[in-house]
Structure 1
Amino acid sequence: MADNSPATLAQAINTISTFVSHDELAGTEMAGEIPKSSTLVLCIPSILSQAAYIFRALEKDPTLTITLVLVGGIGHATSYIYDAVARHPQHHVHATKIQGLPEARVLELILRRFFDVPTITSAGCRILIEDQSTNCGANAAKTKSLLEREGVRIGERVVVVQDPTMCRRTVASFVKLYEDLPEIQRPTFVSCPIAVPTVKVVDENLEYEELPESSGVRVEELWEKQRFYELLVGEVARLHDDENGYGPKGKGFIGHVDVPDEVLAAAEILRSSLGVSR
């Protein structure tokens, strides 16, 4: 008989979340920090504190990046951005103003209203807005096109910030776009999710773990838990390189990603135990 205990489910959820969040700085001396980069790509997250973390870091050290790109048009998840703004203790004042705006324009409004843009740009950081992309792959493709149109060299190291559930796939999308360059010219893409959501068992129920205070991300900003589980299972299916995935054996949107057996097994546990269908 399969073990569907809360502890087993929590372990499965955390296994997948850690994998798809793809925090490449975890366990290093730079854990919890933003590394210096030639380009910082912020794919507009529904967790607004991720963006705030980036903006505060740039206020503190305007030399962190040469180019900041805010990325996101109007897509299937845009309504979640609007909802996040409406729920936010500060940003809710713009809830009616943002309706119909592309995601990147929503975040640009928040950046210019609540953060010190002159300080952020004081060391020469250029802020670019990509507001046409409608999905994860387009985030990468249209960012590349924007940089080329603006005559901006992407540089050697690119930090990518995205919703934690989509970080690994987003980086894989960028890597594929630049794979034809000679190896010495290919940028290094660094995934930086800011915070990795995990769960714990409380009185036989699954509850979110509190996130590091330094991240600024509050549990209240995270997804309703069933949606979180669906996002996780769906992401594993997309990353898995088979006929149904997004890799070379499937749709070809991203390069090959090695999905560990324990992650595939964890996704099956969620599908069978929590009614997750994606």
Structure 2
Amino acid sequence: MRKPIAVARSHSRLLTSGVLLAAQSLLLTLPAVPASADEADGTPVRGSAYMGMGVLAHEGVQGQPVDSRATQTEGVDVSSHQGDVAWTTLWNSGVRWAYVKATEGTSYRNPDYAQQYNGSYDVGMIRGAYHFAIPDGAGGAAQADYFVDHGGGWSKDGRTLPGVLDIEYNPYGETCYGRTASQMVDWIRAFLDRYKARTGRHAAIYTSTNWWTQCTGNYSGFGSTNPLWIARYASTVGTLPAGWDFHTMWQYTSSGPTVGDHDKFNGALDRVKALANG
């Protein structure tokens, strides 16, 4: 649900650098819309989930991000909550890559996808798309097909990143979507296998260590093939899920749906390009 941009939430104090403060002020004010009947009991409207929504609600903010001597490249992730994004100014502030929500389940498509996905590309960013997983809905393969068919594909143009499976806390019900750990692993595998068959690329996995441990039993079988995008709003990435020795991307802060999230790629810009090229 779109809301007007208001006073920044308390956790926005994480954004201490001038670059980030400037970047976060660039997203346009969104019009308020009436509450849906689906929200009467506090449950979000289906389709309204965004990357990190559950992580922020369940894990919160644990500290301030710190500078690292390792080279990192600034990025952002956006969804329909941001509407039209001022990509040129974000580029001028130092953001070099972006991920855009394309789909959720097998029935939701981001209405602002074209402006966000093409707009980021047009200013020079390396960009990709993500799918918000709903494992208690259609099967993993069906959701991968829906994702690829509606913006989640890949092309070897040097500017398109592989798709991302956003698998995290369920914003609409049970944390693990009513699935056992083995059932969840099977669902994720079905998605990843179909995405690879359709695009030739291994999708990245976005998750948090806490959710992954709880809902997959800390399964370690994807670490050798699928890049990890870790969500943790703290001073460091912390302990990673089993199977991954390092993270590829880190969502280090979330300022809620109207502002967007900031991320760091674990490497210089040439490594972002290398991931795009496969």
Structure showing greater relative contact order (alpha-carbon pairs closer than 8 Å, 6 or more residues apart)? 1
Same fold (TM over 0.5): no
Give the TM-score normalised by the residue count of structure 1: 0.30
**Structure with greater helix share of residues:** 1
Give the TM-score normalised by the residue count of structure 2: 0.30
